[in-house]
Chains A and B, each alone.
Chain A
Amino acid sequence: MAVLTIRDALNQALREEIIRDENVFIMGEEVAEYDGAYKVTRGLWKEFGDKRVVDTPITELGFAAVGVGAAMAGLRPVIEFMTFNFSILAADQIINHAAKMLYMSGGQFKVPIVFRGPNGSAYQVSSQHSQALEAFYANFPGLKVVMPSTPADAKGLLKSAIRDDNPVVFLEQERMYGIKGEVSEDPEFLIPLGVADVKREGTDCTIVARSMTVPLAMQAAEQMQKEFDVSVEVVDPRTIKPLDIDTIVNSVKKTNRLIVVEESHAFASVGAEISHQVTERAFDYLDAPVKRISTAEAPMPYAKNLEELALPDVPKIIAAIKEVCYL
């Protein structure tokens, strides 16, 4: 075990998979000579050279397509979007091509590709650079969607995503690259896609959180324990698609209360989906309506106070816990 940041855990995963499989390469803007816009690919180009670590022009649709074609022809590309906001330019390739290729070729052409990069807000980068796109991508059959929240999850899930034979949308979070945690150094350390992790056990209320909202939920849980003796369980699905709904439902059956905290907007969100599935499968267990905390229904503003107001935070989560626990 070593203590690593999420950034370095991702770097380690990429490095190990590049070494393990000659068909793995990483491609994107500034990933090579510049060492990555957020330094996730630091040192890889120096170590592995032009073939395995490829700088692209600013041409998201184009290099996403090159990745899809290369994957159909037997390679395992990792495509980095400098932020997932730019993936919208490449959405035709991710949704119309990668997601459907296996199906419309009658099972003949697999597309083993990872699209990865930071998703959601950063610090005051305003409307076009702050979007959380997991609900958008999770809507399409054929794609897997992954959102790690710890260094160990980041490493184990990215390695599994690279080895997966399906297109995987791997969503990181810029605010979280510096978070530290223990990470296995075993090159075969893998976390399977589609398995949730109970980040904190509790008995009174379930919070389903992902990516950036996991540390917020953990903080709120600690505070509720200390101040009100309320025991909060925090479930991190880690993979949005396929979603480990069983773990969530089992938790709700135990706590009888559910809050979903997410960085995306509320309308037609992953939280809405979880809320629906829990209502369908555990309606009789619920002692309070399912509560959601999402980003405000407005484009992200630049001003610091407005940005903070728009995003989920610890006080908002605490207020929600009190509400569902009737405190």
Chain B
Amino acid sequence: MPKAATRQKTQTKTTESSTNGAGNAHSKKSESNDGAAVTDSVNPKVSQSEHKERRQSQKSSIKNVEPELLGEMLYQMVLGRIFEQKCAEVYRIGKIGGFCHLYIGQEAVGVGSMMALKAGDFVISAYRDHVQAMVAGMKPEAVMAELYGKEGGVVKGKGGSMHMFSKEKNYFGGHGIVGGQIGVGTGMAYAQKYKETDNVTLCFFGEAAVNQGMFHESLNMAQLWKIPCIYICENNQYGMGTSQKRAMSISSVAQKAEAYGMANEFVDGMDVLAVREATLRAIERARKDNLPTLLEIRCYRFMGHSMSDPGKYRTTEEIKKYQERDPIFLFRQTLTEAKIISDKDYEEIENRAKEATDKAVKFADESPLPNEKELFTDVYA
């Protein structure tokens, strides 16, 4: 498909209005990777040069962010990683039941976008939600206890892995029906506009949800009615065991926004600062003019779809290539080179995350099972 013919004004506008280095770099990437040019394999040479370019842009863009926030972002990513590794460990010994979808490899997406929000903003997501729940402010103890099906869990043991909720933290849940939350998120943002707040909603979903009717119904209404919803497609390139190229007639998710006249960006999901900046641009558009945005944030899950996934549909080489661009490694390197953190600081971050995770496991272990009365509470208000 010739790219000139398919790009419309909204995208051009978005690209032009990008003010900082990282944004431009990724918008350019979006142009060059448009349409059929986006593939599911990584050319190591291109990957390495992009890697360098991103690190350059990260270096320039970290000036815009408070060092404390940068440290907190790194901590959240490390905590997410260590917490999820622990989940895998305790799942294998039967402490966690049911489905368990891990976020390992995708930390930059949740951290970069959610930490750009302000008080009163809403978040809704799909079922890969443990780490996002913690970024939203839920305690690791309560998240782990939920995974254990215990009384001390964020929803009292009624939801499990896929259904982390916190009204206090404005986290409207992890949801288990692929794409169902896209319309619900649209409605949350609809309410924000109705109540005349300047708040926005971040609505997360995977690229496989884009093939559901709900994605298209939602984007149409959001642009038609000017709803301040930011649609974040976490494109980890696989819907369970089916690669994007086996499920989607075109390779670009971002491009689909063009059909609705919606602003969109392609973002490198291995680069937490690029995610942050793209989200900030979308947030500004939403706060000022109630305009929605679709962000396609390309990432990669290093683990299987869920704990029960043998992962036979991907090659070890492919996984390794992406692991070379590990978002935590990349961010740490950037912060180290910019002298924002030292090796000792990183060690400390890791230790804090390990301690928090161990504390979470201890709490979950000791938390009682839900009272049997709970079976029938909260059915009706």
Contact = CB atoms under 8 A, between A and B. Distances in A.
Whether A associates with B in a native complex is: yes
Interface of A: 25, 51, 56-57, 59, 61-75, 92-93, 96-97, 101-110, 112, 141-142, 144, 165-166
20 contacts: A61-B214, A62-B220, A63-B221, A65-B184, A66-B183, A66-B190, A68-B183, A70-B188, A72-B184, A72-B188, A75-B191, A97-B184, A101-B173, A105-B163, A105-B378, A106-B155, A106-B159, A109-B172, A165-B381, A166-B381
Nearest to B378: A107
Contacts of A103: 158, 378-379
B194 A70 contact: yes
Interface of B: 122, 124, 153-159, 163, 165-167, 172-173, 175, 177, 180, 182-192, 194-195, 213-214, 217-218, 220-221, 224, 377-381
A121 B39 CA distance: 52
A107 B377 contact: yes
A124 B188 CA distance: 39
A61 B173 contact: no
Contacts of A96: 177, 180
Given A67-B187, A104-B173, A165-B381, A109 B218 contact: no
A235 B194 CA distance: 42
B185 A69 contact: yes
Contacts of B224: 57
A108 B166 contact: yes
Nearest to A56: B221
A73 B201 CA distance: 11
A69 B187 contact: yes
Given A69-B184, A106-B154, A107-B156, 17 more contacts: A57-B224, A62-B217, A65-B187, A68-B187, A69-B187, A69-B190, A73-B122, A73-B188, A73-B191, A75-B195, A93-B183, A97-B177, A104-B163, A104-B173, A105-B173, A106-B158, A142-B380
B173 to A, nearest CB: 6
Contacts of A61: 183, 213-214, 217
Contacts of B381: 102, 110, 112, 165-166
Contacts of B163: 104-105
A75 B189 CA distance: 11
A61 B184 CA distance: 10
Given A51-B194, A73-B188, A106-B156, A62 B221 contact: yes
B168 to A, nearest CB: 8
Contact of B167 (A62, A69, A70, A109): A109
A104 B190 CA distance: 23
A105 to B, nearest CB: 4
Contacts of A102: 378-381
Contacts of B154: 106
B104 to A, nearest CB: 25
Nearest to B215: A62
Query: 6 closest pairs, A vs B, by CB?
Result: A69-B187, A65-B183, A62-B217, A106-B155, A73-B191, A165-B381
Contacts of A165: 381
Contacts of B189: 69
Given A92-B180, A106-B165, A65 B380 contact: no
Most buried by B among A63, A68, A70: A70
Nearest to A142: B379
Contacts of B186: 62, 65-66, 69
Given A66-B190, A104-B163, A59 B220 contact: yes
A243 B80 CA distance: 47
A141 B261 CA distance: 40
A68 B159 CA distance: 18
A112 B187 CA distance: 13
Nearest to A51: B194
B220 A68 contact: no
A78 to B, nearest CB: 14
Contacts of B175: 97
Contacts of A63: 221
B228 to A, nearest CB: 12
A101 B187 CA distance: 14
A49 to B, nearest CB: 13
Contact of B180 (A66, A74, A93, A108): A93
Contacts of B379: 102-103, 141-142
B187 A70 contact: yes
Contact of B165 (A25, A104, A166): A104
B191 A70 contact: yes
Most B CB within 10 A of own CB, among A66, A69, A110: A69
Nearest to A103: B378
B187 A73 contact: yes
A65 B155 contact: no
Contacts of A92: 177, 180
Given A72-B184, A108-B167, A65 B172 contact: no
A57 B378 CA distance: 33
Contacts of B378: 102-103, 105-107
Most buried by A among B122, B155, B186, B378: B378
A59 B124 CA distance: 21
A59 B217 contact: yes
